Each structure stands twice: as C-alpha cells, then as structure tokens.
Amino acid sequence: MGGKIEKTMIFGIASPYRLQWEDAQDSYVLLYPEGMVTLNRSAGEILQLCDHTSTVSEILTQLGDKFQGADIEADVLEFLEIALARGWISNE
C-alpha cells in the first residue's frame, strides 16, 4: 500500500460502475451488472467528487471545507487507493 495516489491525479467512476444516491437506503451505491455495493457515508462523499475533472488535491480541499478542516488526507488517500484497486475508479 501507499504511493500510488498522486495529488495531481484525476479520477472518475470506472466502467461498468455507476454511482447513484439511493433515498431508500439513505446512501450512495455503486451499481454494476446484477450487483450493488452500498457505500458508507465517507466513501460516498469521496466517490461523488471523482467526476473526471477534479484533481485529488481539489477533492481534498472540498472535503476539508465540508468537514471543517478535519485531518482527512490520509483517510481519503487510503480510500482512493482501495477504490482504484477494486476497479471502482480509474485514472483519467
């Protein structure tokens, strides 16, 4: 682990996954052929910022604003690494 995520990288949700908010579950979910991953709150917040345009730096800034400066960088980078390894996101 470690070292794979650069702050200049830009991520988007990778095919065949689709990120969607589900009212009924009060959660973001990742949908794929005949399957679904229900995301916890922080995972959902991070993935919905993976919009094919924002850099990791920009995502960190946005989340930092949202969570009022909490030290989230290590957690976010770690999650992005997991999401990349699982094929949920791809590097543009």
Partner 1 sequence: MNNSHRPLWLLAELTYACPLQCPYCSNPVDYASHGRELDTDTWLRVLREARALGSVQLGFSGGEPLVRNDLEILLREAASLGFYTNLITSGVGMDNDRIKNFRELGLDHIQISFQAPERELNDYYAGSAVFDHKLSMARAVKENGYPMVLCFVIHRDNIDRVEDIIRLALELKADYLELATTQYQGWALINRDHLLPGKEQVEQAERVAHEYQNRYQDRIKIYFVVADYYENRPKACMNGWGRTALVVSPDGTALPCHSARILPGIEWPNVGNHTMEWIWESSPGFNRFRGDDWMKEPCKSCSEKSVDFGGCRCQAYLLTGDPSNADPVCDKSPFHHVILESTARRESAAEPDQTGAMFFRNPKNSDKLS
| Contact footprint for partner 1 (CB under 8 A) | 15-16, 18, 20, 22, 24-25, 29, 31-36, 38
In the complex, minimum distance from the CB of residue 41 to partner 1, in angstroms, rounded to a whole number: 15
Q: Which is nearer to partner 1, 24 or 74 (CB)?
A: 24
The tally of CA atoms less than 13 A away on the side-chain side of residue 39 is: 24
In the complex, minimum distance from the CB of residue 12 to partner 1, in angstroms, rounded to a whole number: 15
Q: Which is nearer to partner 1, 22 or 58 (CB)?
A: 22
Strands (E), the chain: 10-13, 18-22, 27-32, 35-38, 51-55, 89-91
In the complex, minimum distance from the CB of residue 23 to partner 1, in angstroms, rounded to a whole number: 8
Q: Which residues contact 78 (CB under 8 A, 6 or more apart)?
A: 1
> 38 pairs with which residues across the strands?
29
Q: Which is nearer to partner 1, 15 or 68 (CB)?
A: 15
